[in-house]
A and B are shown apart, each in its own frame.
Chain A
Amino acid sequence: MSNMPAFLAGRRLLRAELPFSDDELAPHLAAGTIRTTPGISTTRAERLLRPARHFCHRCCTTDAHQFQPFPCATCAAPCVYCRNCVVMGRVSSCTPLYTWHGAAPRPRADAGACAFSGTLTLSQQKAADAITARLGQASELLIFAVCGAGKTELLFPAISETLAAGRRALIATPRADVVHELLPRMRSAFPNARVTGLYGGSEDRNAYGDLVISTTHQLRRFHHAFHLTIVDEIDAFPYTFDATLRHAVSEAAHPSACRVYLTATPGRAELARMKHGTLDYALIPRRFHGHDLPELNFTWCTGWKKALEKQRLPKPVAAWCEAQLHHKKPAMMFVPSKTAAETLAAMLHPLHPAITSVHAEDPARKAKVEAFRRGEIPILVTTTILERGVTVPGANVALFGADDNIFTAAAIIQMAGRAGRSADEPDGDVRLFHDGRTNAMFQAGRYIEAMNAGTAPKTI
């Protein structure tokens, strides 16, 4: 079948995922253009205290809880399967993974042509140069950029160069909505390249792409495919950028790939590596419009927990909300919990009937966010789920109960990053209603000071 290379190149798939018959596969298996590797490898148990350890070659997990024995009908041997990635089709000890080793499709010679005509800021340009300098060599680079720095644009030169060299590029992101958002932008920036978007249920799932924009889950089906691997928002991954995921990225990447990580708030592990000089980074301390990050404003709101219980709206909060409504500023009010969101929204309701709350399990979440973007909701009371992604020009941000544990320094920085995003209205009000300043609040404040001074913050 002629489309077999396009389908299989750079992938590692289960037999059930291959739309080919045994007769079609047999000659390739015999010739070695398709090879199989075990899905799970197991080390032998030594002594009582060191039981057998397993490794899943698809999701790269080694967590013992995830490997479970099951009564396998295919093999008689003791068979374990990986629960961590079972939703993608079960990988067990007796399940082979199929990889392609024949001639593979490549980007066309003109695929690197970039239609982006804007200019990069000085620090954007520096970061872009740092990536292009590392292309073609196995390397890692962290782009440490504030929220609203314009991370997408600075990727264009490196992607362009990679595609022009006849190699594939990948942008991986934890969230499917980022795939939706990036796909049209990348398609118009690279009109001659085949750009595919992969997320659960996407139509491009089986298509070959020169530039692939993928959720991290879908990434697990790739193997040694990309010479440029960009991972967006490494701090937003569930359980942060853990070893499993880093491993999955290296698996999808070609052994000599340049791996680029983007983040506004690197985790502890990355900060340590940056400090010790084992992880190169490029700093973008300024937003694309060149203005400072809005400073944090702290406002005492004593006894906010009690006030919520008694359904009393604290005066400073009421005053702030009224001011937003008066100046017709869209505002996001972050709260520590779902119940807090619902109670606060109910209390704010008399100020404006369209004020509403949103949380993770809210079925109308998408619709509410859209309505907020269109300006139909003046104040959106939300749990931390909207800490990233939602950008509304001219928006102000408040954190209700900012001393709650859920507001980590990174979370506060991300939430504050929602304000002042547009060039027309670069100043935003970021208000923290608290009952005593926490370490996280101080750290977030120091982060913003450092970035505005053009230096990298030491801790987050």
Chain B
Amino acid sequence: MHLRDLTATGPPCLACHTPIAQPVSWRALLIPDKDKFCHACRSQLCLLPEGCPGCSHPLLPQETSCYSCRKWDQSLHWRGLINQNVAIYPYNDFCRNLVARWKYRGDAAIAEGFRPAFVKAYKRHFPDCLPVPIPLAPERLLERGFNQAEQLASFVGEPVNVLKRPEMAEKQSKTSYAGRLNGDSRPFVFDNHREFAIKDRHLLLIDDIYTTGATVRKAARPLLEAGAAAVSALTLARAVKLADEGGFV
């Protein structure tokens, strides 16, 4: 075996399992590349550009905030629940596939590939916030064996598990946007014994996907009622729709 063989291939890519090619150089040998995805997979997992300050959705040139955020702000009931949501990746086909394998297939190690970007976004936008993962319903947790949001939260600090999701409300993904917008269901409750942990703190809700923004808003309400100073959200991906498809609905 040549030295070249030793340096040229690293551990397998988390997404496609091909060994990750390492550049053959002294630098690469001394400071190995920590990326868990190969070059081809990484290039499909592009970062969201600077977008809507409220939710990271890409904006048209003349816009200052996106359609969805404007809608939320028009509603007295929902306005001001979260300061902002930062999302890292657009929820495109590649990302959807990867998240499905991670969440539903239970391939928990895939999250490791998201860690560097996730930690970077946390340090940049919410350096002093307490990470609060969105909880799973007990039956979901039993089925999946782990909570993907808690896994993400653990990358940036000790997860503060102050939310509970008592029993399965009607399945989130099946209810319509309008239904979710108007529905005043309270799927999350605050764990009453832990007010001291969040009093006057800026909390950061952690979730995998921001679709309409209803989940993080519903989770923010009990936190604010329990005495949190403010609530923001950091999500791995943001569902993206282009304005020419008739706005985000």
A residues contacting B by CB (< 8 A) are 65, 68, 70-74, 81, 83, 86-87, 89-90, 92
How far, in angstroms, from A73 to B151 measured CA to CA in the complex? 11
Asked whether B145 lies within 8 Å of A74 as measured between CB atoms, the reply is yes
B14 to chain A, nearest CB (A): 8
Q: Which residue in A72, A74, A87 is a CB contact (below 8 Å) of B105?
A: A87
B12 touches A73 (CB 8 A): no
Contact flags (1/0) for B110-121 with A, using CB distance below 8 Å? Answer: 001000000000
Please name all residues of chain A whose beta carbon is closer than 8 Å to the beta carbon of B144 when the two chains form the complex. Answer: 73
- CB atoms of B106 and A72 under 8 A apart: no
B145 surroundings in chain A (CB, below 8 A)? 70, 72-74, 90, 92
Interface pair B106/A86, CB less than 8 Å apart: yes
Contact of A71 among B11, B107, B142, B154 (CB under 8 A): B154
B146 & A65 in contact (Cβ 8 Å cutoff):
no
Give chain B residues whose Cβ lies under 8 Å from the Cβ of A81: 106, 108-109
CB distance from B147 to the nearest CB of A (A): 7
Query: Cβ of B146 and Cβ of A70 under 8 Å apart?
Result: yes
Q: Please report the C-alpha to C-alpha distance between residue A71 and residue B146 in the assembled complex, in whole angstroms.
A: 6
Q: For A83, list chain B residues within 8 Å (CB).
A: 107, 109
User: Count the B residues whose beta carbon is within 8 Å of the partner chain — how many?
Assistant: 17
**By the criterion CB–CB under 8 Å, are B142 and A73 in contact?**
yes
- Contact A90 to B109, CB < 8 A, known contacts A70-B146, A73-B146: no
> Once the chains are docked, how many angstroms separate the CA of A68 from the CA of B108?
8
User: Does residue B24 face the partner (Cβ distance < 8 Å to A)?
Assistant: no
Judging by beta carbons under 8 Å apart, are B147 and A73 in contact?
Answer: yes
Please give, as numbers and ranges, the residues of chain A lying within 8 Å of B12 by CB-CB distance. 65
- Indicate if the CB atoms of B147 and A90 lie closer than 8 Å: no
Chain B nearest CB: distance from A287 CB in Å?
37
**B197 contacts partner chain A, Cβ-Cβ < 8 Å:** no
**B141 at the A/B interface (Cβ < 8 Å)?**
yes
Residue in contact with A90 in the complex, picked from B105, B141, B151, CB distance below 8 Å? B105
24 A-B contacts (beta carbon < 8 Å): A65-B12, A68-B108, A68-B112, A70-B151, A71-B108, A71-B146, A71-B147, A71-B154, A72-B145, A73-B141, A73-B144, A73-B145, A73-B146, A73-B147, A74-B142, A81-B106, A81-B108, A81-B109, A83-B107, A83-B109, A86-B107, A90-B105, A90-B106, A92-B145
Within 8 A of A (CB), among B1-45: 11-12
Taken together as a complex, chains A and B put the C-alpha atoms of A70 and B148 apart, in Å, by 10
- Inter-chain CA distance A68–B12, complex, in Å, is 13
Q: Which residue of A lies closest to B144 (CB)?
A: A73
CA distance A71 to B112 in the complex (A): 12
Which chain B residues lie closer than 8 Å to A87 at the CB level?
A: 105
Residues of chain B at the chain A interface (Cβ within 8 Å):
11-12, 105-109, 112, 141-142, 144-147, 150-151, 154
Residues of A within 8 A of B151 (CB): 70-71
Interchain residue pairs A-B with the least CB separation, the first 9: A70-B108, A68-B109, A90-B106, A86-B107, A71-B146, A73-B141, A73-B146, A65-B11, A71-B151
- 12 further A-B contacts with Cβ under 8 Å, apart from A70-B109, A83-B109, are A65-B12, A68-B108, A71-B108, A71-B146, A71-B154, A73-B141, A74-B142, A74-B145, A86-B105, A86-B106, A86-B107, A92-B145
For B109, list chain A residues within 8 Å (CB): 68, 70, 81, 83
Within the assembled complex, what's the spacing in Å between the Cα atoms of A71 and B111?
11
| Bound Cα distance A23, B247 (Å) | 51
A73 to B144, CA, bound (A): 8
- The answer for the CA separation of A87 and B142 in the assembled complex, in Å, is 18
- The answer for the CA separation of A87 and B144 in the assembled complex, in Å, is 13
CA distance in complex: A90, B142 (Å):
13
CA distance A427 to B146 in the complex (A): 61
- Which partner residue on chain A sits nearest B143 by CB separation? A16
- A92: nearest chain-B partner, CB-CB: B145
In this complex, what residue of B is CB-closest to A63? B12
Chain A's nearest CB lies how many Å from the CB of B12?
A: 6
Q: Please, how many angstroms separate the alpha-carbon atoms of A81 and B107 in the complex? A: 8
Q: Which residues of B contact A71 (CB under 8 A)?
A: 108, 146-147, 150-151, 154
What distance in Å separates the Cβ of A358 from its nearest Cβ neighbour in chain B?
22
Measured between C-beta atoms, what is the minimum distance from B117 to chain A in Å? 19
Q: Which residues of A contact B154 (CB under 8 A)?
A: 71
Once A71-B146, A71-B147 are accepted as A-B contacts, the answer to whether A90 and B11 lie under 8 Å apart by CB is no
Nearest opposing residue in chain A for B112, CB measure? A68
Most A C-beta atoms less than 10 A away, residue of B12, B146, B150, B154: B146
| C-alpha gap A73/B109 in the complex (Å) | 15
User: How far, in whole Å, are A73 and B136 apart by their CA atoms in the complex?
Assistant: 11
